[in-house]
């Protein structure tokens, strides 16, 4: 057939993927082949599993799926095949970097080569960076709460500050804890235990000198 002397492997365009502990993610890689067709896509570690001698993928929360495999015209330049990379990052995941590969096979059995070189990042090789939750959020200052004594906020004043911070930051995870110290400093503790702080001078003012 026309594919019998085809020696060109599918090409992959991935990206620089950043994910956060305690958060879900979804990214897409695009795959094309000179034949216009891809039959199989595997996302994998570069080495083989020592026990089974087969390709494998870690961490186990990194999932992938590809629709329309094996269809003529499913992987053209005009209409690339899309492989979805998705998952939920566990709260206790170690912050760090994973380098993984996307390997596609065309009808003539040409398979994308895994090249262990950073100049391939964003192609068939991609870097998945796990960050702590506080790197995702940049808390906005709340509307100011006026208090009687800047060095000793009452319980109700501290509650008012916490409510103002929550109102100013609707995208914060609902499980994030907002604590207010006696002097008005705000600490936001994310579900993964990472923290952000907002200094008191951006949160409270003295009633007396308003």
Asked if residue 137 belongs to a known ligand binding site, the reply is yes
Tokens, residue 123: 């192609």
Q: Output b/e per residue, 38-66; b: 16+ Cβ within 10 A.
A: bbebbbbeeeeeeeeeebebeeeebebeb
6 among the known binding-site residues?
yes
Helix count and strand count (H, E) for the chain: 1, 13
Consult the annotation and say whether 8 binds a ligand: yes
Q: Is 152 annotated as a binding residue?
A: no
Residue 53 known to bind ligand: no
- The encoded tokens of residue 87 equal 């998952």
Q: Is 106 marked within a binding site?
A: yes
Q: What are the CA-CA distances from residue 178 to residues 19, 48, 182 (Å)? A: 23, 45, 13
Is 192 assigned a ligand-binding role in the annotation?
A: no
Q: Is 45 annotated as a binding residue?
A: no
Report the alpha-carbon distance of residue 91 to residue 145 in Å, rounded.
Answer: 33
- Binding site: which residues? 6, 8, 33-34, 106, 134, 137, 196
Enumerate the known binding-site residues for Ca(2+): 6, 8, 33-34, 106, 134, 137, 196
């Amino acid at each position: 057939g026309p594919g019998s002397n085809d020696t060109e492997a599918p090409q992959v365009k991935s990206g620089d993927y950043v994910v956060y502990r305690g958060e879900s993610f979804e990214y897409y890689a695009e795959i094309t082949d000179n034949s216009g067709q891809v039959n199989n896509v595997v996302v994998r570690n570069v080495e083989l599993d020592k026990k089974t001698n087969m390709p494998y993928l870690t961490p186990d929360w990194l999932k992938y799926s590809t629709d329309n495999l094996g269809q003529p015209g499913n992987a053209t330049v005009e209409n690339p095949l899309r492989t979805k990379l998705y998952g939920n990052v566990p709260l206790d995941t170690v912050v760090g970097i994973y380098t993984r590969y996307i390997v596609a096979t065309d009808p003539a059995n040409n398979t994308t080569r895994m090249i262990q070189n950073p100049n391939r990042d964003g192609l068939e090789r991609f870097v998945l960076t796990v960050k702590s939750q506080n790197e995702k959020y940049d808390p906005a200052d709340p509307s100011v709460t006026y208090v009687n004594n800047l060095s000793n906020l009452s319980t109700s004043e501290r509650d008012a500050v916490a409510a103002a911070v929550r109102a100013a930051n609707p995208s914060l995870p609902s499980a994030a804890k907002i604590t207010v110290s006696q002097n008005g400093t705000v600490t936001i503790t994310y579900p993964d235990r990472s923290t952000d702080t907002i200094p008191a001078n951006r949160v409270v003012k003295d009633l007396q000198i308003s």
